[in-house]
Amino acid sequence: MPEPAPLPMWATEFHSFSPAHALCLVPLAASVFVSCTLGRRWLSQGGEGLVRERKLAAAWAGSVIAINLWSIVYWSIPANFIAAESLPLQLCDLACLIAPLVFLTDWRTPRALMYFWGIGLSAQAFITPTLEQGPADTRFYLFWLVHLGIVGSAIYDLVVRGFRPTLRDLGIAIASVILYALAMVPINHFIAGANYGFIGNKLRDRPTVVDKLGPWPERIFIMAAIVIAGFTIMWAVARLLPHRQSNRA
């Protein structure tokens, strides 16, 4: 019986700044654009429009929950589990778990975290993805969908529902990443090869901006300074945006 033909390289490998990279970004950006356009239109209509917007938000939240479940199940399968990579401890993993709360509750803390974590940190995944697998691998779809759930939720809350961070929100976001880093340092130390939060003593196989920040552990402090400065700029810029009445019931 003849062996099956090997899959083409585009199906098994992914490279940043390639045509495949651009092709991935188009439908992701389109889904966020369409969702925000419909959400803004329906909220401005009031009445039946509010009902439609709530249904759209619930559908988005349900989709993110489904993505979370898919990711947890996939990485829990013994054949896929690697302690240094599979635990849901990356900041993006935590952000994706928080994202549905933005749509299902009026709790402000998740909204603040999604704004700063999502747009400020997770959006980097679209610019320099650490993804190595192509569309023949489940990890390809999980990577893009998880980050779409995070960044898309943050953008929707900003553009449609009018989230504007306060100084207190900025403080919560900064405190959260400091606490996260303090928790990840010992975890990365005791799990061989772990690099959760990109603050471990190990760089990714695919280059990211972290590679340019010097040796470990000095780069942790440089990363902290950049994150704090970036969050502060995001807070200041958002304060300049026009306030939008969300008309949420």
DSSP-assigned letters across all residues of 22-73: HHHHHHHHHHHHHHHHHHHHHHHH-THHHHHHHHHHHHHHHHHHHHHHHHHH
Q: In this predicted model, what pLDDT tens digit does every residue of 166-176 receive, in sequence order?
A: 999 999 999 99
Residue 28 has a CB neighbour count (10 Å cut-off) of 16
Amino acid 30: pLDDT: 98
Q: What φ, ψ does residue 68 adopt, rounded to 5°?
A: -60, -45
Q: Is the pLDDT of residue 249 over 50?
A: no
Q: What is the mean pLDDT of residues 55-60?
A: 96
pTM score, whole prediction: 0.92
More confident residue, 194 or 248: 194
Tokens of 12: 């098994």
Q: Are the C-beta atoms of residues 194 and 84 closer than 8 Å to each other?
A: yes
% of the chain with per-residue pLDDT over 90: 78
Q: Rounded to an integer, what distance in angstroms lies between the CA atom of residue 119 and that of residue 247? A: 23
Please, which pLDDT band fits residue 2 given cuts at 50, 70 and 90? low
**54 residue type, one letter:** R
% of the chain with per-residue pLDDT over 70: 94
How is the chain split into domains, by residue range? 15-240
Q: Are the C-beta atoms of residues 193 and 202 closer than 8 Å to each other?
A: yes
Q: Are the C-beta atoms of residues 244 and 162 closer than 8 Å to each other?
A: yes
Q: Is the pLDDT of residue 99 over 80?
A: yes
Q: What is the mean pLDDT of residues 47-75?
A: 96
Q: What is the mean pLDDT of residues 53-76?
A: 97
The closest alpha carbon to 109, from 53, 157, 64, 43, belongs to 157
Residue 243 has a CB neighbour count (10 Å cut-off) of 8
More confident residue, 238 or 213: 238
**Mean of the per-residue pLDDT values for the chain?**
92
Helix (H) or strand (E) holding 93: helix 91-104
Amino acid 241: pLDDT: 87
Q: What φ, ψ does residue 185 adopt, rounded to 5°?
A: -60, -50
Longest dimension (CA), the chain: 67
Q: In this predicted model, what pLDDT tens digit does every residue of 205-230 receive, in sequence order?
A: 666 777 778 788 888 999 999 999 99
Q: What is the mean pLDDT of residues 5-21?
A: 88
Q: What is the mean pLDDT of residues 116-135?
A: 94
Amino acid 211: pLDDT: 73
